[in-house]
Amino acid sequence: MGAGHGSFLGLLSAPFAAVAQNLGAPIILSPYRSLHGADNRPRRLPHAGVDFGGQVGAPVLAAADGTVSRIIEWPMSCGLGVLLEHRRFKRWTAYCHLQGITVRPGQRVSRGEQIGMVGASGGAFYIPHVHLEVCTFAGISHADGDLSGTEDPLKIAEGCFDDTRAYPTDRLVLTFPVACLHGASER
Ligand SMILES: [Zn+2]
């Protein structure tokens, strides 16, 4: 079984996702614009971000260098979350459904640095995952169906964070907000 890019993109039901997670590849439970939730049930309105499966308490990683713009507390939707600003690119990334936060507003973070812990807060369907969103303005993330000022994170994502790699600095490139176990990022 290859660990190429395509293997990240399959829609898997939650029980299979839990198994696959142990094999080291991050599992995408629900891509951008999807009409399926992280719980693999239909959602009424298209998804404003990408849901990455994870285990409760696992580190949530910054998807790019940035500054903590705000801590999000939105019980009905994002739950506990972090908004990072990527000023050079006029973009923000939001991370939702966290169990805890390890950064504070104004703090600079580097790609791959821990900003919190995976959880299932807010509208997470009891499935621990990180909802990652790319926004063209600062907000508190978006509810389903509200795609205004959002972009598809996977279009600018380059897989798992790899601290041996040099990432482009002339454009915003994201790495996944959950760690991949050893071997998952081999090409
Ligand atoms: Zn989501």
List, as one string, the DSSP characters of 29-62. EE-TT-SB-TTSSB-SS--SSEEEE--TTPEEE-
- Kindly give the distance from the C-alpha atom of residue 26 to the centroid of ligand 1, in angstroms, as a whole number: 15
- Mean pLDDT throughout 148-172? 95
- Kindly give the distance from the C-alpha atom of residue 30 to the centroid of ligand 1, in angstroms, as a whole number: 7
- Mean pLDDT throughout 148-158? 96
pLDDT at residue 129, rounded to an integer: 97
Q: State whether residue 16 is helix, strand or coil.
A: helix
Domains in the chain, ordered, with CATH?
A: 2-156 (2.70.70.10)
**37: its two tokens:** 């939730």
Between 25 and 68, the more confident residue is 68
pLDDT at residue 86, rounded to an integer: 98
- Kindly give the distance from the C-alpha atom of residue 84 to the centroid of ligand 1, in angstroms, as a whole number: 17
Strand residues in the chain grouped as ranges (E): 28-30, 50-53, 59-61, 66-74, 79-86, 91-96, 98-101, 108-109, 114-118, 129-135, 150-151
- Kindly give the distance from the C-alpha atom of residue 29 to the centroid of ligand 1, in angstroms, as a whole number: 9
- Kindly give the distance from the C-alpha atom of residue 4 to the centroid of ligand 1, in angstroms, as a whole number: 23
163 falls in which pLDDT band (50, 70, 90)?
A: very high
pLDDT at residue 14, rounded to an integer: 45
Q: Could you read off the pLDDT of 93-134 as tens digits, one per residue?
A: 999 999 999 999 999 999 999 999 999 999 998 999 999 999
Does residue 17 carry a pLDDT above 70? no
Q: Could you read off the pLDDT of 21-50 as tens digits, one per residue?
A: 444 568 899 999 999 999 989 999 999 999
Give me the residues near ligand 1 (ion), CB cutoff below 5 Å. 49, 51, 131
Does residue 185 carry a pLDDT above 60? no
181 falls in which pLDDT band (50, 70, 90)?
A: low
Asked if residue 98 lies in contact with residue 116, where contact means CB atoms within 8 angstroms, the answer is: yes
Q: What is the mean pLDDT of the chain?
A: 87
- Kindly give the distance from the C-alpha atom of residue 96 to the centroid of ligand 1, in angstroms, as a whole number: 8
- Block residue for tokens 């696959």: 20
Cα dihedral sign, 122-125-126-130: negative
Does residue 8 carry a pLDDT above 70? no
- Mean pLDDT throughout 162-186? 84
- Kindly give the distance from the C-alpha atom of residue 75 to the centroid of ligand 1, in angstroms, as a whole number: 14
